[in-house]
Structure 1
């Protein structure tokens, strides 16, 4: 592995999960395999309505998220337990798989998400 610094910009992502007027997630992968995502969810966005169909309609979100909230109010619910957690500006968070979520209020939610490289065994 090289010892070079790598920079990327979310305005030219590797992939884009486009949720039209509800928002979207810009996704990019670094040379090390680490993934970074910039998520924007507009007021009225729900995981059930806006993201679930784009993922093949799993029962709950299958992803593990580690990230930072830049703005807005996101309510995340662990489906099995029904426990809801509010994520707001300034929160660094970790969310296990098995959740859904919705934007609470009239402010757009903006998140930066990170995922570790997936190691091949």
Structure 2
């Protein structure tokens, strides 16, 4: 039986959202802390305050695309978020405890008077 040397063993990587690699600051309406792992995957902690809308608070930070160009996989820690697919107008409510997948081409808004808190995951970018 062949044994691996300690140098070849994979290591565990940990990161904290309190020390993000990038922060999308939406001032009084919230923000998104983004961390990147060594393999290129990323995690995001999003906080959206009551009154937050993608159109007003996030769109300008992304260069003002027609809709959010990203795919999101995540978990809703708290609150209610309405996500609308811009091509069909179909709205989906995401609430506390939901695990979700949102394709590109959407916008959204906080539904109600409670803060929305999400954890989002993204795989590494594909090689070019």
| TM-score category, normalised to shorter length | over 0.9
Of the candidates 57, 62, 69, which is equivalent to residue 62 of structure 1? 69
Change (3 A) 1:43 1:2: farther
Tell me, yes or no, if structure 1 residue 119 matches structure 2 residue 97.
no
Q: How does 1:74-113 map to 2 (within 5 A)?
A: 74-113=81-120
Q: Indicate the residue corresponding to 2:10 in structure 1.
A: 3
Q: Tell which structure's C-alpha radius of gyration is larger.
A: 2
Question: Are 1:40 and 2:78 an aligned pair?
Answer: no
Q: Determine helix, strand or coil for the equivalent of 2:92.
A: strand
Which TM-score applies when normalising by structure 1?
Answer: 0.98
Structure 1 stretches lacking a partner, 5+ long: none
- 1:2, CA displacement in angstroms? 5.8
TM-score (norm 2): 0.92
Q: Secondary structure at the match of 1:8?
A: coil
Deviations 1:38-80 (A, max 9, x none): 0000000000000000111000000000000000000000011
RMSD: 1.0
Report how many residues are paired: 121
- 1:119 offset after TM fit, Å? 2.0
